[in-house]
Amino acid sequence: MKEKNSDTMEAKEWVQSIIIAVIIALVLKFFIVDFVRVDGSSMYPTLQNGNRVVVNKIGYTFGDPDYGDIVILAYDQNTEYVKRVIGKGGDTISISNNVVYRNGVALTESYISDESYPDFAEVTVPDGEYFVMGDNRAHSSDSRFADLGFVDRDQIDGKVVFRFWPFSEFGSVS
């Protein structure tokens, strides 16, 4: 009889441990960190198709995205984009001859693809919103286009902190 109670207690402990582990994993995934697979070439050469990255989801709970941050943003319920923050609320952004200007000052962007991309007339980023672009400017759906446009702060899920796959490129992406 004692052996049956002991087996029952052990089974209950295993079930409790599994439930607690699942709850911890879900809390981590939804609120603290996420693991994302890059799909597409819009962030080339910084990130390539198939790269896997770690996203800090809690960092923006206490602060806001900054210039140059690589962020994950919700495009719709089924699609997330990886983009770089170029402008914040109140900034003016324009592009001329493959150079991005923020508030009239040319940005130094050593991380972008060498491929040519179109000019873009000056716009002012609304308060509480962001202007984001891919590093592969010629092949990126980003804030220059109406289908994405300016990105509301609530659309930004987190900051990419490092790449863990492929192992040969393991490390920071900033």
Do 43 and 135 touch, CB atoms closer than 8 A?
yes
Mind giving me the DSSP string for 97-122?
A: TTEEEETTEE---TTS-SS----EEE
- Options 12, 41, 42, 174, the catalytic residue: 42
Tokens 């690589």 sit at which residue? 70
Do 155 and 45 touch, CB atoms closer than 8 A?
no
Q: How far apart are CA 156 and CA 129, in angstroms?
A: 10
Q: Is 6 a catalytic residue?
A: no
Q: Is 174 a catalytic residue?
A: no
CB atoms near residue 169 (< 10 Å): 13
- Options 83, 88, 113, 159, the catalytic residue: 83
Residues labelled as active-site residues:
42, 83
